Structure 1
Amino acid sequence: RYVILSHRWGAEVGYEEMTGLMKMEKGEREEVRQRTGYQKIIKSCEQARKDGHKWLWIDTCCIDKRSSSELSEAINSMYRWYQNAQVCYAYLHDVDESVFPTERDRDKFSESYGWPEWFMRGWTLQELIAPKQVEFFNKDWASIGNKRHLASTLQHVTGIPWEVLRDGPAARRLSVAQIMSWAAGRKTTRVEDRAYSLMGLFRVNMPMLYGEGKKAFQRLQLKIVRVSSDHSIFAW
């Protein structure tokens, strides 16, 4: 039983830094502790403990990215890890208000189509759909709602049917093109992650080949064709 964090990456603390924190010189250790990514870890832990949970998983410092095999296993398992969590904390770092934003604000969120940046990232799509419970927090770690109660608003923001948000992908029969459409306007830092971040939603697995560029998406499509007879993938 564990809590899992979903967030937008910034100045993060990695696995090597986290495990070696107490061996660092004092100045170096303080620099790490001052980062927004470290504060995010601490605040997540405090919230998890407040909610009565013993374990918290955060992608930034729980995956040793120096190991290609560990990274590949983690990415292929990511959907399942979010699905199996007791609750997912979604941290919206750019929301100041104490309520969930319900209207598009192009002035405040100018670089993410008028919505908080979390909703425009590639990886957060599966992190919204997979967990049974998702609780949203603003930049000050105040709770501003959960996925179940905000289902109709989230449908407006993401285009994902409210039944899927409330009860999971099994709630409706979904076509390949429909799932692809939810990811269409989202961005990832690495080109390959546009494909890798969708594997869980399509229940497929494939090896990570960072450096292959757009070929990753072609490989994803081939994998989907092999396990599905849904011809809407060609419409996409």
Structure 2
Amino acid sequence: MLKEFYGPTLAEKKYAILSHCWGAAEEEVSFQEMERLLITDEEERNQIRGRTGYKKIIDTCKQTQKDDLEWVWADTCCIDKKSSAELSEAINSIAQRCYVYLHDTAGDTLTHWDESTVTPKWFSRGWTLQELIAPSDIQFFDRNWECIGDKERLGSTLRRITRIPTEVLEIGLGGMRPSVAQIMSWASDRTTTREEDRAYSLLGLLDVQMPMLYGEGKNAFRRLQLEILRKSNDQTIFAWGWSRTTGLPQLVQGLF
């Protein structure tokens, strides 16, 4: 069942979010498809319910029930992407708990991670950086939905993989306030499907609000820099420029 909550009502709800890597588009379940499940014919319902993306949602709901939480939010099926307001609100919302689903990890391999181990894809995606830092309560699950550990237990492993200081992993950005360049450096080797999302995925971490205009390409990152300059005197923003090779933002000086 889909239900909308706004403002103070949302803050009162006990809910979790699913943080994951999207699979093939045809395997995920959209907002519109989730809405149609109750009114469509049986053939289409069975087709939707047979997708790996639907199973992922169901497994998330089961874990939410185990944890005695009322609701769960998943970006694939809970955002009406036709609404820019919903996209913006989703970026700025923080849940009580975050479930990280590592579809390419089995058992406790993450616990024993070292530099020779293949890092789960989740750690290479742009949007998951905010989902790692913002929530204080994060639980990691492998592809079989077995719990690997939480952010506290996996702290040293997460620090090695992401280069994010322990204090930031433990309490978010409310304590030690990193410089703009530091935050951007954590995102520098992450990728996004759409070029604009390299900027949009940093809005919450940099406490910046600006409209998301898909189709603007590189200009999204330029607008992000201008917004940072407008509200902050953090001079480390000038350590960032553009790579002539890739055309992507990069750290000019290897300071961080």
TM-score normalised to structure 1 length: 0.90
Identity, % of aligned pairs?
55
- 1:179: which partner in 2? 183
- Letter of the structure 2 residue corresponding to residue 77 of structure 1: E
- 1:230: which partner in 2? 234
Counterpart mapping for 1:88-103 below 5 A:
88-101=98-111, 102-103=113-114
Contact map agreement 2:15 2:71 (CA 8 A) in 1 = yes
Contact map agreement 1:76 1:200 (CA 8 A) in 2 = no
If each structure's helix is expressed as a fraction of its own residues, which one has the higher value? 1
| Higher RCO (C-alpha 8 Å, min separation 6) | 1
CA drift at 1:100:
2.3
Alignment counterpart, residue 18 of structure 1, candidates 34, 39, 54: 34
Measure the CA separation in 2 of the matches of 1:88 and 1:147: 10
- Letter of the structure 2 residue corresponding to residue 4 of structure 1: I
CA drift at 1:75:
3.2
Alignment counterpart, residue 128 of structure 1, candidates 132, 135, 144: 132
- 1:51: which partner in 2? 67
Q: How many residues align?
A: 223
Contact map agreement 1:80 1:130 (CA 8 A) in 2 = no
Unmatched 5+ residue regions in structure 2?
Answer: 1-13, 241-256
- 2:9: which partner in 1? none
Contact map agreement 2:110 2:157 (CA 8 A) in 1 = no
Alignment counterpart, residue 204 of structure 1, candidates 203, 208, 215: 208
- Letter of the structure 2 residue corresponding to residue 93 of structure 1: H
Q: Measured at CA, do residues 218 and 211 of structure 1 come closer, stay the same or move farther in structure 2, by a change above 3 Å?
A: same
Contact map agreement 1:147 1:165 (CA 8 A) in 2 = yes
CA drift at 1:235:
1.1
1:146 aligns with 2:143: no
CA drift at 1:149:
2.0
- 1:109: which partner in 2? none
CA drift at 1:150:
1.5
SS of match in other structure, 2:38: helix
1:191 aligns with 2:191: no
Alignment counterpart, residue 225 of structure 2, candidates 211, 221, 225: 221
- Letter of the structure 1 residue corresponding to residue 36 of structure 2: G
Measure the CA separation in 2 of the matches of 1:155 and 1:77: 29
Contact map agreement 1:79 1:201 (CA 8 A) in 2 = no
Residue by residue over 1:87-122, the C-alpha shift from the partner in whole angstroms, topping out at 9 and shown as x without a partner, is 10000000012342422346xxxxxxx310000000
Measure the CA separation in 2 of the matches of 1:104 and 1:34: 37
1:86 aligns with 2:102: no
Measure the CA separation in 2 of the matches of 1:230 and 1:35: 46
TM-score normalised to structure 2 length: 0.84
Alignment counterpart, residue 89 of structure 2, candidates 62, 67, 77: 77
SS of match in other structure, 1:157: helix
Measure the CA separation in 2 of the matches of 1:79 and 1:179: 16
Measure the CA separation in 2 of the matches of 1:77 and 1:198: 14
- Letter of the structure 2 residue corresponding to residue 87 of structure 1: R
